[in-house]
Homo-oligomer: A and B are copies of this chain.
Amino acid sequence: MAARAKTRPRTPSAPETVAEILAALRERIANQDIPPGAKLRETDLAAEFDVPRTRIREALNALEQRHLVERIPNRGAVVFRVDFNQALRIYDLRVVLEGLAARLATQNGTPARWKREADLFKGPLKVMVDRGDLEPYIEHYEAMRRAIIEAAGNPLLAEMLDTIYEKTRVLIRRILILPGRAEVGRLQHVAMLEAMARGHAEEAERLRRAGLQSAKAHLEKFQKYIL
């Protein structure tokens, strides 16, 4: 799959289409490689990606519609800054949307799938948390989360969660690093996944909501350490 000369004559890592440029910029903003408040100059980006400026403009339009950048007339695009209140509002949305995802995933997926996931969180992932080895734990958490959203089978839901998750991705990591938080979260995930393995959709939804509410409470409590 490395060399498909027809569709991609250049190196695979060079973004050229609007969609590719958009994805690259979304990634950078979500990782805060481009920090909040930073100005995105069209000319610079056009030079960097080696594409006409019009294409950059289209990508910036898309970012604006996702509220990842703010467009100030005649002054360009600035990376949106998520303040504390907005972060809380995003958590309110995550509570209900991820709750829905858990319910639908329970109805659509096989119990065995979630049983396997629960065992992971009880075994290897517990060891990681105990060791304070959080990076691989976070990675697997995100994979589990994506699996649930995927299994929910509602593309519109998936897109909404994408849109809001990328806005708080760095925040989520900062919450997880708080003392004791990772273990609390892990136990909540185990409880939810076991409910899913038993096929209890409503209970899975309730547990997912409770887990995110408690994460939100942590955010409020430790606001000054996070934002």
Contacts and interface: CB of A to CB of B under 8 A. Distances in A.
Interface of A: 58, 61-62, 65-67, 86, 89-90, 92-93, 95-97, 99-100, 104, 154-157, 160, 164
Given A92-B154, A96-B96, 7 more contacts: A61-B61, A65-B65, A86-B156, A89-B156, A93-B156, A96-B97, A96-B99
B164 A93 contact: no
Interface of A is mostly: helix
A100 B99 CA distance: 12
Number of copies of this kind of chain in the complex: 2
Nearest to A57: B58
29 contacts: A58-B61, A61-B61, A61-B62, A62-B65, A65-B65, A65-B66, A67-B156, A86-B156, A89-B154, A89-B155, A89-B156, A89-B157, A90-B156, A92-B100, A92-B104, A92-B154, A92-B157, A93-B97, A93-B100, A93-B154, A93-B157, A93-B160, A96-B96, A96-B97, A96-B99, A96-B100, A97-B97, A156-B164, A160-B160
Contacts of A104: 92
